[in-house]
Structure 1
Amino acid sequence: MTLITKDFSTGYEENKIINSISLSLEESEWLGIVGANGSGKSTFLKGISRILDAHTGIAYLDGHDIHHSSTKEIAKKISVLPQHQRSNINLTVYELVCLGRSPHKKWWELDLDENDHLKVERSIELTDMTVFKDKSVDTLSGGQRQRAFLSLALAQDAKTLLLDEPTTFLDLRYQLEFLDLLKKINQEQKISIITVIHDLNLAARYCNRIAVLKDGELLAIDKPREVLTHELLKNAFHVETCQIETPIGLQICTIKSELSTD
């Protein structure tokens, strides 16, 4: 296991949003987190990435309590791609990705060494951004900018990658291109991934397992076919659905809302 939570609760000051979630992330696994708005998806991700403190329970990474480990040590093991990135960054793609090497440097080491530059070049290459490495980040398209920040995350050389709704602001083409790229990295680089994802069909298509949250609690976690059932989705999202088989595998057809009178 790379990451395990046991009775893990988190939130904002006295407002507990995530309540006693226990789950595990296997090595080289892609775990999707789905749920209705307000279910606690992003809050859970912030908790296991130390952006928020744990209220109760423990989150372990490689056997060590995340919230009792140093920020630098956690950054060597977990890379985070948040939902919102600044677009007005006056850096080239290469300069941006170099920031990913910070956890591996001593505070007095201001310059990157040869190994660091190799890691940066490799991260840019993995995301197909080599042709853009000298371009300013603020001149990139949405899809290119997302890949630039993915390069930054990969340059940390961590084996666990956390992404919060990475396709939210991308059109259909770039959603598929970005997720195809993630799948390639997941399989070839053996990187474990947790993705908060809004689209159930994208979750079914790309994730090995899916965790469904409701009101800060874990309803189920299993393979897509076992989780994305009519009964469970009705409970979590208040919609009528059915599973359908397609050329790309299982997909979910939304029939109507529970509140619909049709």
Structure 2
Amino acid sequence: MTTRLFDLTGRVALVTGASRGIGEATARLLAGQGAHVVLASRKQEELDRVAQDIGANGGRATAIAAHQGDSAALKHLVERIATELGRLDILVNNAATNPYFGHVTDTDAGMIDKTLQVNVKGYFELSSLAAKMMKAQGGGAIVNIASINGLSPGMFQGIYSITKAAVINMTQSFAKECGPWHVRVNAVLPGLTDTKFASALTRQEAVLKGFLSQVPLQRMALPEEIAPAVLYLVSDAASYVTGACLTVDGGYTA
């Protein structure tokens, strides 16, 4: 029995922000466990590259461009999944934006709106659409990629940190209200991870050195080290886990 706890054969999984970083690593891992993975992000050509590589390695993947900050695009995305694949068992809300790095009081209105639209409203809308589809088929699992910044705000990352705190609360709200639908909702909170997304921090040697001095494992995570936490939460191994926030940060918040 235990050998099949992570088997996702027959399940359809939607991963946003799947063209690189944590999203790509997660999509590859879920496909490797048997899921048919729907890859979503803004650019079709980047998704096609990942989908083709998953297929070449024996997995199944469908690439559908959709912007996490576009409500109509998210609705169309879920409708296509329903029409073409007939079900949705797993949603991984991973796509996010962090367009501003600087003093919180200098954050302009455009940056606030963009960050809230993608990181909060987009997660909320896609979770709502997915949860209703999952309810109709008898259940499912949603994982939101939040951040340790949602627990304690990162310096010069104010609006981003605020949105990630909202994602943590959103996760718990959906878990409470969607539990009776047999829809489990959890979050993964990565620490600093070596991705293009985190380059505003990682390219500044002094900032990076200062941050890593506070990490017991003394290094950044790789995207492939975050993905297994997602696999656990969407799998049968976590069948009684909902409303949880799993921190993967090398001990930073210990």
Q: TM-score range by the shorter chain?
A: 0.3 to 0.5
- Structure with larger RCO (C-alpha < 8 A, sep 6+): 1
Tell me the TM-score normalised to structure 2 length: 0.33
More helix by share: 2
Q: Which has the larger radius of gyration?
A: 1
Tell me the TM-score normalised to structure 1 length: 0.33
More strand by share: 1
